[in-house]
Structures are given as structure tokens and as C-alpha cells.
Amino acid sequence: MRWQPFLLTPIVLLLALLPARAGTQAPSPFSFVLELVAEGLDRPVQVIDPGDGSGRLVAVEQTGRLRLIEDGQVIPAPFLDLSDRVSCCGERGLLGAAFHPEYAANGLLFVNYTDANGDTVVARYRVSANDPNRIDETTAETVLTVDQPAGNHNGGMLLFGSHDGCLYIGLGDGGGGNSQSGQDLGTLLGKILRIDVDAMENGAPYAVPPDNPFVGQPGARPEIWVYGLRNPWRFSADRATGDLWIGDVGSAIYEEINLLPGTGTGAANFGWPAMEGEECRQDAPCESFVTPVSGFGRDEGCVVTGGYVYRGSAVPDLAGVYLFADYCTGTVWGLAPEASGVWERLGPVATGLRISSFGEDAAGELYVVDLGGSIHRLIAG
């Protein structure tokens, strides 16, 4: 993600639909209330549900700690403290975490961080046998490491697929000025990977699913699921359909929301660096690339934060709507499906937050993460 300077304004919890932009069709109703869940966190970049039926949430702090949130209170002792091995901040740090789908039974947690050298590490941990409020740091096992040539575009998202149980890993293109790694199938950079962490293969702590699209292709890394991405900072899987929604941070033109249907088989090429938005940036066959379903240009924001399709019950009007945001302005939009197959963009709604991430709990309710230190839940207004 590309962090930008931002002056945090007072939080206004009751949000109202803003007027449509001049020259555009008035959008469908799109409103919600933000309810404060927790505050006092140190640069939170994600909130996740452990899926153990406890009702707790876990906040990921970019500075290297995981913090438990229970009954609206942040438990003082860290759930996991990796601050001694994490390089922070800018676009580095502890950038993502994911609980195994069977966490309640196996206690496994996966994290994605940049180490002291600035390189990506995906590691596996296990909850303490004696304390459900603490991850045992001695159980650390490295799953994957990736050299990072620059300090930006590190990706960081981890996600277990809602339908296949595989672990999806987001990696940016390695940063710098105009990296070509997004189109290079010989590198993991600029991709979303898909691996099976419940199996081992050739001595590695994971296996490559046999239906990954580049298995057996000479010169290609078999872990790759989709490619042609610049920095897929946050992505999600629709729990109802398995659709993969990707917020890909743009360069100078457009912030992208990309969609891979749950019935897809991977191999989608989203075009970077040859294409940004729908504009060809290089002499390339851009007609072969998958174009974004939505997003926004520089007149509306500067860094996209991908979100989730709402599948909860607290805000019935948002059922089936995908929410995403601009980090710099705190603006939130929605995408609603139309009969024609296109997606209608709803909103915008102003929040006054630095939205580093969205989150989803076990019931499908959605949360907004403010880098300034707070977590908020969407409710009806």
C-alpha cells in the first residue's frame, strides 16, 4: 500500500449519502452508521475473526503485534508480539494475518510481515496449549520467503479461500519506478498465490494445488493463481459465491477494483504494468487483459483499500453490495450488481478515517479499520 500524509478529522459516526458528482446519474441509496468497537491501537492494518466461536476479534498492528479485542476492550497483553523481527513502517511491517479455517481444532495462525531485511515472510504459528489468549512464539515455522527489491509494494494480505480452504497470498510488484515483475511468471512478485498449507511437497512446508493454472508450465512458478498486479493490498472472497475481489493500488491514473468469479480457474492477467485501469501504458496487447469492474481516478482519491461483499444482517440494505474505500480521504463506495452484468457504483460516503482495511466477522458483519488506532462496525442508520 502507498501511505500518504493525512490530517485526521473528527470521526462522524452517522454517515449520510453525499450528492452525486456533477454529470453522473444519481446513485442508489447507500448509507450506514459506524459504531466504535475499539480504540487505542498502534497503526492497525487489519481486523479478523478467529472463527472459534468466542466472539473475539484480532487486530493486526503494523508495528508487529496482534491484539485481542473482547467485549469492546483491547486486552493489554499482545496475542502475538513480532515487533523484534518486523521492519516498520512506511509500507513495511506486520501486514496481514489469517486464522486456519479449523483454528478452533488445530490452533494455527498465519502471518505476513517484512523482516529486518525488508523481505516478505509468511510464517505459521500455533496457539499456546495453556493460554487461549496467547500465540506460542516458539512454534514459528516459515512457510514462504520472498526477496523484496524495494521498500514499497509489499502486498501483505493473507486469506483462506471460502470454498477451497487454500491460502491466498498477495504480493506487490517489488516497488521501484516501473517494475515489470507483474508480467513475469518466473517471479512471485506482482501476483496472488494459492497454496495448500495442509500438505507438504518436496520438503516444502506447503503443497501446490494440482489445479493451479501454471502447474507444469516451464519457467512459471506453480504457486501463482493470478498475475499482472501492482500492489493487491487488500482482497477478499465472497463467502456466498467464492468470488475473489481485489483492490489493486494504482500508479498515476487509476485505483482498481478487480473481480475473479468464484467459478474461475485462475490465470487471470490484470495487465500491470502494461495497463492501468483501462488505459494501455505500453505497446502491449491490452485486449487480452482483465479490466477492472470499478475503482476511482485521481480526482476522487489516491490509494484504494479493497473491502468485502456484505453478507451480514445488521444493514439489510447493503446485502450483496461490495464495499471499498480510498485510504487518503476516507471515502467509501459500494458496488451493486445490475441485471446487465455490470456493477453500479454507489455512494460516496465520507468517514474522516484513514481506512487501512475492512474486516469481516463470523456472522458476515463488516468492520472499518482506521490507521489512526480504531476499529468500527457497520450498523444500520
- What is the pLDDT of the chain when averaged over all its residues? 92
| DSSP assignment of 54-97 | S--EEEEETTTEEEEEETTEE-SS-SEE-TTT---STT-SEEEE
For every residue of 7-71, DSSP letters joined together read -PPPP--B--PPPPPTTSPPPPP---EEEEEE---SSEEEEE--SSSS--EEEEETTTEEEEEET
Q: What are phi and psi of 360, to 5 degrees?
A: -135, 135
- For the stretch 108-156, pLDDT in tens is 999 999 999 999 999 999 999 999 999 999 999 999 999 999 999 999 9
- The answer to whether the CB of 189 falls within 8 A of the CB of 288 is no
pLDDT digits (tens, 9 = 90+) for 1-10: 544 433 333 3
For cell 467459478, the residue is 263
Task: Output the pLDDT for position 6.
Answer: 34
Task: Determine contact, residues 335/314, Cβ cutoff 8 Å.
Answer: no
Cell of 236: 477478499
Gap between the Cα atoms of 252 and 160, Å rounded: 31
Q: Name every residue whose Cβ is closer than 8 Å to that of residue 194 and which is 6 or more positions away in sequence.
A: 161, 166, 167, 168, 169, 209, 212, 223, 224, 225, 266
Distances (CA, A) of 154 to 116, 130, 171, 306, 321: 14, 34, 6, 15, 28
Q: What angle do CA 30, 36, 38 make, to 5 degrees?
A: 140
- Structural domains of the chain ordered from first start: 33-379 (2.120.10.30)
The predicted-structure confidence for 281-325, as pLDDT tens digits, reads as follows 878 889 999 999 999 999 999 999 999 999 999 999 999 999 999
62-77, pLDDT tens digit by residue?
A: 999 999 999 999 999 9
Alpha helices in 70-213 (DSSP H): 103-106
pLDDT digits (tens, 9 = 90+) for 20-48: 333 334 445 799 999 999 999 999 999 99
Question: Does residue 162 have a pLDDT over 90?
Answer: no
**pTM of the shown model:** 0.92
Work out the average pLDDT over 194-214: 95
